[in-house]
Amino acid sequence: MINNFQNWIADQIKGIKSKNQHRILTQIDSGMGPEIIIDGKKFIQFASNNYLGLTMNKKVINSSKKILERYGTGTGGSRLVTGTSNLHYELEKIIADFKNTESSLVFSSGYLANIGTISAIMGSKDIIFSDELNHASLIDGARISKAQIVIYKHCDMKDLEKKLKLVSRKNIRKMILTDSVFSMDGDIAPLDEIVFLSAKYDCITMIDEAHATGVLGKKGSGASEMFGVEKKIDICMGTLSKAVGSVGGYIAGSKKLIDFLKNKARTFIFDTSLPAPALKASMDAIDIIQNSDGPRKNLQKNILNLTEFLVKEKFNFYKNDTPIIPIIFGSELKTLKFSKMIKESGIYIPAVRPPSVPIGLSRIRITLMANHSQKHMEKLKRVLKKIKKFN
Ligand SMILES: Cc1ncc(COP(=O)(O)O)c(C=O)c1O
């Protein structure tokens, strides 16, 4: 039996390798700044979601250290038992103010926030309309809920409306589910049109602001702020693990929604809560995000700088107003080769391949940070130009 199992695994791995889709972990022996250490060598990285560089912010680190000494390393329980401290409540209040909602709820990760929330709210008699490029956590949440899933073409509002119209039964509950910034393509969902359709067809609107939090909007609270639709979104999810630079996920919405999730979201109920230093790091980071737009302006400057270069050099890339800029190669092998050549030049940008992206759309996904310096940006452009002929 054991041998059969081991043989099965070996066959599976062989299959993955034959498609050039085998993945290995890269060990990073430093903090996640613009420069990192791999195998004792320094690299400039354009691969993390630490868009504002807050994971290494001195003020955040120092106040988390103090909290670590006072509260220790863990909470010893789930939120409903010993896992709710004053810091959990304080952070939830800060997030609700930041997101302009009545209330919020912190989960251990964004992934858990999505699957727990969708599956608590939707059931087998309901329908979820889901963008075809939604993040895996939204897809998994929809699947766990057992609702019927209707996939609409990426950001295509005509297709979404066509599909909404087909549901004639009045008493059926419907949800429109979308990333606000798409994790692999980096583009922004048309939230103004989505909330319009949602109201017209009586849907629940849930958005995932994982990559928009800290990046979009005047005070950096996300795409819902940028579009001015915060009050029209029923369920606004985000993470504390990307621009916020810590760890955790949240749902922002009405008091009733949060009360319901405390009682029904299984990934909230049956999961040990986040430790105090992580909560304090998120609190301080959100404070920085709201009260200083300098890092966001730097980030925008870097986005513009790289975009202009890629247009001028005629790269096959997705032009976005976000820090996620993918250069498309198509085949897995070509992407792997390009990523390897970049690494040999001292820059770290891993290849992104199926199943993270559709087959035939393998890419290197460049992500920019506010604290990538002029020197970092120039080096990236030099290296990309040198190896352009392989694109
Ligand atoms: C769009 C999106 N939603 C949710 C998540 C999950 O968030 P977390 O990493 O906090 O679990 C991610 C992270 O990769 C993401 O890109």
Query: Which residue segment(s) compose the domain that 81 sits in?
Result: 75-291
Task: Name the pLDDT band for 168 (thresholds 50, 70, 90).
Answer: confident
Judge if 120 and 206 occupy the same domain: yes
Judge if 264 and 304 occupy the same domain: no
Residue 10 lies in a domain: no
Q: Identify the pLDDT of residue 106.
A: 98
Residue 253 lies in a domain: yes
CATH code: domain of residue 308: 3.90.1150.10
Q: Which of 291, 308, 325 is the last residue of a domain?
A: 291
Nearest atom of ligand 1 to the alpha carbon of 183: 16
Q: Is-contact 82 200, C-beta < 8 A?
A: no
Residues 202-226: tens digit of each pLDDT = 999 999 999 999 999 999 999 999 9
Instruction: Kindly give the distance from the C-alpha atom of residue 179 to the centroid of ligand 1, in angstroms, as a whole number.
Output: 10
Judge if 31 and 129 occupy the same domain: no
Residues 143-153: tens digit of each pLDDT = 999 999 999 99
Judge if 138 and 258 occupy the same domain: yes
Query: What is the residue-wise DSSP string for 87-142?
Result: HHHHHHHHHHHHHTSSEEEEES-HHHHHHHHHHHH--TT-EEEEETT--HHHHHHH
Residues with CB under 6 A from ligand 1: 109-111, 114, 135, 137, 179, 183, 208, 210-211, 239, 241, 249
Q: Which of 291, 315, 335 is the last residue of a domain?
A: 291
Residue 335 lies in a domain: yes
Of 247, 240, 276, 272, the C-alpha closest to 68 is 276
Residue 148 lies in a domain: yes
Which of 106, 134, 154, 183 for a ligand 1 pocket mutation test, highest count of atoms within 8 Å of Cβ? Answer: 183
Instruction: Kindly give the distance from the C-alpha atom of residue 186 to the centroid of ligand 1, in angstroms, as a whole number.
Output: 13
Instruction: Kindly give the distance from the C-alpha atom of residue 327 to the centroid of ligand 1, in angstroms, as a whole number.
Output: 21
Q: Name the pTM for this structure.
A: 0.96
Q: Indicate which residue's Cα is closest to atom 16 of ligand 1.
A: 183
pLDDT > 70 fraction of the chain, expressed in percent and rounded: 99
Which of 241, 268, 322, 367 for a ligand 1 pocket mutation test, highest count of atoms within 8 Å of Cβ? Answer: 241
Instruction: Kindly give the distance from the C-alpha atom of residue 111 to the centroid of ligand 1, in angstroms, as a whole number.
Output: 6
Question: Is the link from the previous residue into 355 a cis peptide, with omega within 30 of 0?
Answer: yes
CA 324 to chain CA centroid, nearest Å? 11
**What average pLDDT does range 362-381 have in this prediction?**
97
CATH code: domain of residue 267: 3.40.640.10
Q: Identify the pLDDT of residue 103.
A: 98
Judge if 243 and 364 occupy the same domain: no
Over the chain, what is the mean pLDDT?
96
Residues 282-303: tens digit of each pLDDT = 999 999 999 999 999 999 999 9
Specify the number of domains making up the chain: 2
- Conformation bin of residue 390: beta by default, left when phi > 0, alpha when psi is -120 to 50: alpha
For CA atoms 333, 337, 343, 344, give the dihedral sign.
positive
Q: Identify the pLDDT of residue 251.
A: 98
Q: Indicate which residue's Cα is closest to atom 7 of ligand 1.
A: 110
Judge if 26 and 84 occupy the same domain: no
Residues 17-64: tens digit of each pLDDT = 998 889 999 999 999 999 999 999 999 999 999 999 999 999 999 999
Q: Which of 261, 291, 321 is the last residue of a domain?
A: 291
Q: Identify the pLDDT of residue 159.
A: 98
Residue 252 lies in a domain: yes
- Reduced to 3 states (helix: H, G, I; strand: E, B; else coil), residue 338 is helix
Q: Identify the pLDDT of residue 391.
A: 57
Instruction: Kindly give the distance from the C-alpha atom of residue 42 to the centroid of ligand 1, in angstroms, as a whole number.
Output: 27
Task: Name the pLDDT band for 2 (thresholds 50, 70, 90).
Answer: low
Judge if 222 and 204 occupy the same domain: yes
Judge if 90 and 170 occupy the same domain: yes
Q: Identify the pLDDT of residue 388.
A: 80
Judge if 133 and 246 occupy the same domain: yes
Judge if 171 and 235 occupy the same domain: yes
Task: Name the pLDDT band for 381 (thresholds 50, 70, 90).
Answer: very high
Judge if 194 and 268 occupy the same domain: yes
Judge if 274 and 298 occupy the same domain: no
